[in-house]
Chain A
Amino acid sequence: MATVALKSVKKSYGDINIIQGVDLDIQDREFVVFVGPSGCGKSTLLRMIAGLEEITAGELKIDGKVVNDVPPDARGLAMVFQSYALYPHMTVANNMGFALRLAGVPKAERDAKVKDAARILQLEPLLQRKPGQLSGGQRQRVAIGRAIVRQPKVFLFDEPLSNLDAALRVQMRIEIARLHSSLAATMIYVTHDQIEAMTMADRIVVLRSGKIEQVGTPLELYHYPANVFVAGFIGSPKMNLVPVKVQSAGADGITIVLPGGGTAMIPVQSSNAAAGSAATLGVRPENVAISADGPIAGEITVVEHLGGETLVYVNVGEGPFITVKAGGDSAANVGARVRLSLKTDEANVFDTNGAAMVPKVRKPLADLEKRGH
């Protein structure tokens, strides 16, 4: 059992408020990912949970107990740092056993635990090496091993994969996910990479300037972003965010004026949208298609063939290019004039303030939990 609860947690350095009131409940064995752009306060929030950073205001509870003033080593957490932070003069085995050694665990027991962790992470042949003699991926494993050995209630990861190359990152991502299910531990994982967030998380917490923008399962965030920021942050290639005007709002949804003057009806609850006001249409690249009778006209500017799929960037005169995700066999040509159609029931509309209008029908998939508890 290990739950973590944050109640209006704040952090300021002097007059600067870095974390501006965060409320969050993390359940036992949950894999929660903090994601957000650089400098939004993810690390600060994680370090506050770890006890490395003082909490200016609010309450942090682990397993229901307030731990604001408990020193880091007494909180029962283990952290994997971005730089790995291995002790360079100690062997891998000593690195992993350091906490146990300080805690006065007898050598035999210590060795057994280190061996165990080394076996899980396939580090056994490296136990007598120094960190300097390891590759980046191996150091990463040792850092994780050092956390495992302590059998913490909660694992904290601060961008652990950002120093690895792309291929290794994918491999370690899978490995951490595997560890999460085999160790049955609560994990909090910080990243600025939304793909890591989407692939690993049970729940994603999107942060921006020290505030939570949205909390939800990956698919919930993907299909129903709460605002323009989340919409633009989650998903790759990025969601198209098209500036539009509201023409009318009715019981079935909202009718908007698209770039070039065409209209579309999006089925969202739009009671407070005034006719003529500005809004933003959010539509994912896979929900836009090139078709002769579409409501938007434009010219193909860039075509990216990725093999399995093709990304087509269309200049529609005003606003940013619209990205279309087409099949790998798409014959789109640069310079061609095309029309674009939208899957209106998959589209989102954001009001003048950037907040999403609630969709009429909700996909069941969005509320799917990765695994039952």
Chain B
Amino acid sequence: MVATTTTSSQASHGGVRSGRGVDTRPLIWPSVGVLLIWMIIPLALTLWFSIRNYKLDDPSITGFAGLGNYSYLLTDPSLTTALLNTLLLVGGVLIATVVFGTLFAVLFDQDFWGKGVARLLVIAPFFVMPTVAALVWKNLLMDPVNGLFAFITRSLGLGAITWFSDMPLFSIGIIVAWQWIPFATLILLTAMQSLDREQIEAARMDGAKAVSRFIHIIVPHLGRPITVVVMIETIFLLSVFAEILVTTSGGPGDASTNLTYLIYKNALLDFDVGLGSAGGVIAIVLANIVAFFLVRTVARNLDA
């Protein structure tokens, strides 16, 4: 939803401000039109449902709820938790992917034997469906009885960690990061390959050792691609869902419930479409606030 909102607004912008004498607006109307319908109809329906009393399991309750759904949601303590969880998840995964993505990009930019295969392997998780990835992590790796991690920690005499009950959000974060590090690596690796070798050599002649070169040449060079990674990932990370559904179902309690999952819980588990829609509207508003700031910083960064 957020993605379509931002792209369409940028697209229409670009069309109007074409530098040439030709009016390009008619040319982009068809696609803008499709995007608008695509976006407007679900948005309108969501808005409409959000002010209605609409429970799937009780058709007798109908009529306008006014802002009742909203006030219920905004005063519900689980919304605050969900917001906080969303921010933690997005922030944590962003940090992890950027840090590991940068390290992998620098590493895989070097020449070493088996580079091709190694690159393929580091990219591979990106092609695994979120549901499958979560299942693999839950059952094969993090399972406290049969999991690989438990096997390792036990053979070291440390006992097993019950990942999803002791640190549910962190565990989900690990899974999501595992899926998104390849994306960051891919983008940053491409950026690394466009780094002028002579710049690195000039830095070597100037007396910069590996660490100084990383700090003074590579990190500034990766500044823009990192902003791009952050922006794109944020859009997707705000709506993480499958990983939560498959592993913790938002629990224990609501310890790993994010906004998306809360909406799902309200709308489909509790059969309250009105409440779910109101949550959706809140999510849209929040996502657009985030997107607004992101696009602004990125645009500034890309201009510089």
Chain A contact residues, CB within 8 Å of chain B: 47, 50-52, 71-73, 77-79, 81-83, 85-89, 98-99, 102-103, 146, 150
Contact = CB atoms under 8 A, between A and B. Distances in A.
Contacts of A103: 207
Nearest to B206: A99
A246 B29 CA distance: 81
Interface stretch (B2-10, B73-81, B110-118, B216-224): B216-224
Contact of A52 (B201, B206, B212, B223): B201
B156 interface: no
B67 to A, nearest CB: 49
Given A85-B196, A89-B220, A102 B204 contact: no
A79 B201 CA distance: 9
A101 to B, nearest CB: 9
15 contacts: A50-B205, A71-B204, A72-B201, A73-B204, A81-B198, A81-B202, A85-B196, A85-B202, A86-B199, A87-B202, A87-B217, A88-B221, A102-B207, A102-B208, A146-B202
Among all A-B residue pairs, the 8 with the closest Cβ atoms: A73-B207, A85-B198, A99-B206, A85-B202, A89-B220, A81-B198, A102-B207, A85-B199
B212 A81 contact: no
B207 A87 contact: no
A293 to B, nearest CB: 58
A98 B201 contact: no
B216 A72 contact: no
Contact of B198 (A83, A102, A150): A83
A81 B217 CA distance: 16
A98 B216 CA distance: 10
B207 A52 contact: no
Contacts of A88: 220-221
Given A89-B220, A89-B223, A98-B216, A83 B205 contact: no
Contacts of B204: 52, 71-73
Given A87-B216, A89-B220, A89-B223, A99 B207 contact: yes
B199 A73 contact: no
A52 B196 contact: no
A79 B202 CA distance: 7
B111 to A, nearest CB: 12
Interface in B182-216: 196, 198-199, 201-208, 212, 216
Contacts of B208: 73, 98, 102
A115 B201 CA distance: 24
B131 to A, nearest CB: 42
A275 B204 CA distance: 59
Given A51-B205, A73-B206, A83-B198, 12 more contacts: A47-B201, A50-B205, A52-B205, A72-B205, A79-B202, A81-B198, A86-B202, A87-B217, A87-B220, A88-B220, A98-B206, A98-B216
A314 B7 CA distance: 66
Contacts of B223: 89
Nearest to A149: B206
A86 B202 CA distance: 8
Contacts of A52: 201, 204-205
Contacts of B207: 73, 99, 102-103
A82 B206 contact: no
Interface string B220-251: 11010000000000000000000000000000
A78 B201 CA distance: 11
Interface in B120-145: none
Contacts of A86: 199, 202
Nearest to A104: B207
A85 B216 contact: no
Contacts of A99: 205-207
Contacts of A73: 204-208
Contacts of A102: 206-208, 212
Given A98-B216, A102-B212, A87 B199 contact: yes
Contacts of B221: 88-89
Nearest to B223: A89
Contacts of B198: 81-83, 85
Contacts of B220: 87-89
